[in-house]
Amino acid sequence: MSTLDDIFPDAKEHRAAQVVLDDHHTMRRLDQLFGDRRADVDLTHRASARPALVAMVNQAAADAKPVRSVPPVPPGRQRPVRRRIDLLNAGIAALAVLALATAGVVGGMQAATASPASEALGVLAADERTISSVEARLTEAQSQITDEVAAADAQSATLRTALEAVREAPDPADIPPGESEPPADAGTIPIADSTALDAALAAVDGYRKDLAAVTSPVLPDPYHRTSMDKGSLTSVAAAIDAAQLRLTELDAATAAVREVRSGLQSRADALAAQLKTFTATFVPTAKAAIEDNTDAGQDAKDALTAAAAAVAAADLMSPEGQSALSTYRTALVALVADQVHQDRVREEQEREEQRRREQQQNQPRDTTPDPSPSPTPTEPTDPTDPSTDPSSDLGDPLAPPMG
């Protein structure tokens, strides 16, 4: 029994030729058969596909080749044994080929008869979704800019008050003992480095001036689709152009919002750098204050050292940083007050010693002379006692010399 290849020897070459055909060739054939599907045609009366199918069948019949006879087997050569045809597999293969051919024809007809306006409506819908998302983000960003500017200005105003508070404080030496409030004519003591403080205050004032000049970017009006004919490609294309124009406007608005936010961040960074320079002066200032108040207690010295380190590490724009400034001021005043107390105690001791000396110097002296001691009475001597006779030492002049 012969195979299909032996019966139709040209079928194999024909199938091989069909394999190399690409999609472009198929689309060109479909365009030749059904016309250009991209043209803006009136689709209200769709043309019948029957004439095109008849033309395809006639063309296939014209291209078919007659079946040639099977060539005889040369003498002395044995015919190869052929496998028997599996009718079931051949039937399935034929059905698969028929299904593929049908699907290709139907898909080509659908693609050729699809409405270009429908495809354009899909593009328009995608652009409109993008427009809606961008408009929502820009509105939110605009509101955030307004809130951030107001909050930054309020923080700056509070910071300025805190900075002014560390310029000076009443001198504890001018507050009478036992009093808590300084008199009207009391002097002051410096708290922070005056030069660094003036620079920080100037930076805060400049920052607030820049904030006052910030204007929120103007956003385009909300997008609304204009009336159009959804079945007309020209009308849909005009709507797409309007949507693309709105996207261009939104891109410009986005760039403006980004520029404003970048400017705010740059100004905040510049102020933070100036404040950092200011806070770096607190540690050496505290050290100098401790050296000037050596008689203060060690607890007061340690408290001032810790307060200075806290200010140096603080963010003065935050409430914690401004609280650190207040703590430092209190610690420095306490240190000076302790020194004043020690000075007053020492001065009181010196006054007490002076009073004692003056009392000793001013004490009246007794001018009465001291009584002289009475002479010791002498006992009378016995004249008969030779020990008391002064002449006994010279002998008796009337007695004869010893022989």
Q: How far apart are CA 121 and CA 127, in angstroms?
A: 10
Q: Considering only CA atoms, which of 302, 267, 264, 274 is closest in space to residue 286?
A: 302
Give residue 2's pLDDT band: very low, low, confident or very high (50, 70, 90).
very low
Choice between 154 and 69, residue whose per-residue pLDDT is larger: 154
297 burial via Cβ count (<10 Å: 0-12, 13-18, 19+) = middle
Q: How far apart are CA 331 and CA 308, in angstroms?
A: 9
Report which DSSP code applies to 35: -
Choice between 223 and 374, residue whose per-residue pLDDT is larger: 223
Q: How far apart are CA 8 and CA 66, in angstroms?
A: 9
pLDDT in tens, 135-170: 999 999 999 999 999 999 999 999 999 999 999 999
Report which DSSP code applies to 39: S
Mean per-residue pLDDT of the chain: 75
Does residue 292 carry a pLDDT above 70? yes
When mean pLDDT is compared over 124-128, 272-276, 343-347, the highest value belongs to 272-276
* Beta-bridge mates of residue 169: 189
Mean pLDDT across 328-339: 96
Mean pLDDT across 284-297: 95
Give residue 317's pLDDT band: very low, low, confident or very high (50, 70, 90).
very high
Mean pLDDT across 99-110: 46
Residues with Cβ within 8 Å of 156's Cβ and at least 6 positions away in sequence, in order, are: 204, 207, 208, 211, 271, 317
